[in-house]
Chain A
């Protein structure tokens, strides 16, 4: 018997995903489409929020589209398609998160012309843990937290909240009814991601949506000056 020797490797375990995500981002940049990854727990209102976002953007003359991840159904895609924007469902078959490979293969199968789009939204699977580790090639990661969920969610899922760029509080039309403690929720976000932008929205009443749309538009302009053509 001989003693073990060390074979050095030093490579990221998710290197394959990360490289693919980088090449997707380069493709999105070249096509001039800004990509937004929406993450949240189940029931935070991602689909309703996205539905309103697509509607507002289209009313403003922009060209958005959406890729929607779901464990088993295509209900969300059907709801979103009513906005008139191109929508494609990714049924993950039980997989708890989206990976860059799924985005790449669905873009190919979809055959959508990225050059004709201004925004592509990716609605991730409702899960506050797994989507954090996977770069999808997005420019902006947005985490949603509904007022009905409990103000300490960011403290329970710090990795996802830390990985996101913007936090959106949804269903604020219900805030008073559920005695949402906004300062506590904002403090929890600030604790796990100091300086993160927080937006208050209601897709139902439209409150705060103008602010969100302005932020998207501004972000896309900044991005196009930097990278988008």
Chain B
């Protein structure tokens, strides 16, 4: 299981971005996760809580957007998404294709940050 190591990389990258932007509180971290990224969503969510402990991200939510594989089919001249990764065939015509156009993403998209402001000002 390498999700813990991925969670640490994610937390390191997100914390640095938050600190660079002068952010003090992060409500959520948004991630895009491709079906071919080789990362199990549930394991990553579990690892996230462990990896954020004691960091600026502690207590924040990890929001994962799952990205399906998209294949280009030369015969159809079209890109289609797959609902499985066990059969790399064009869903329109059934021809095999290895031309993957989407689905390897493991991308930190954004942070949902809370700006602290003085209560009385």
Contacts and interface: CB of A to CB of B under 8 A. Distances in A.
Nearest to B69: A162
Nearest to A5: B113
Nearest to A195: B98
Interface in B102-121: 105-115, 117
Interface string A1-31: 0101111111111111100000000000000
A10 B37 contact: no
Given A13-B10, A13-B108, A7 B21 contact: yes
Interface string B77-121: 000000001111100000011101000011111111111010000
Contacts of A198: none
A208 interface: no
Contacts of A16: 9
Contacts of A91: none
Interface string B54-73: 00000000000000000000
B27 interface: yes
Contacts of A11: 13, 107-108
B45 interface: no
Contacts, number: 108
Contact of B98 (A8, A13, A130, A194): A194
- Interface size of B as a range: 35 or more
Interface in A130-186: 130, 132-133, 155, 158-160, 162-163
A12 B106 contact: yes
B1 interface: yes
A97 interface: yes
A133 B112 contact: no
Interface of B: 1-2, 5-6, 9-10, 13-14, 17-18, 21, 23, 27-28, 31, 36-39, 85-89, 96-98, 100, 105-115, 117
Contacts of B27: 4
Given A159-B38, A193-B98, A133 B2 contact: yes
Nearest to A6: B110
Nearest to B44: A13
B112 to A, nearest CB: 5
Nearest to B27: A4
A133 B106 contact: yes
B14 A9 contact: yes
A4 B112 contact: yes
B85 A159 contact: yes
A2 B98 contact: no
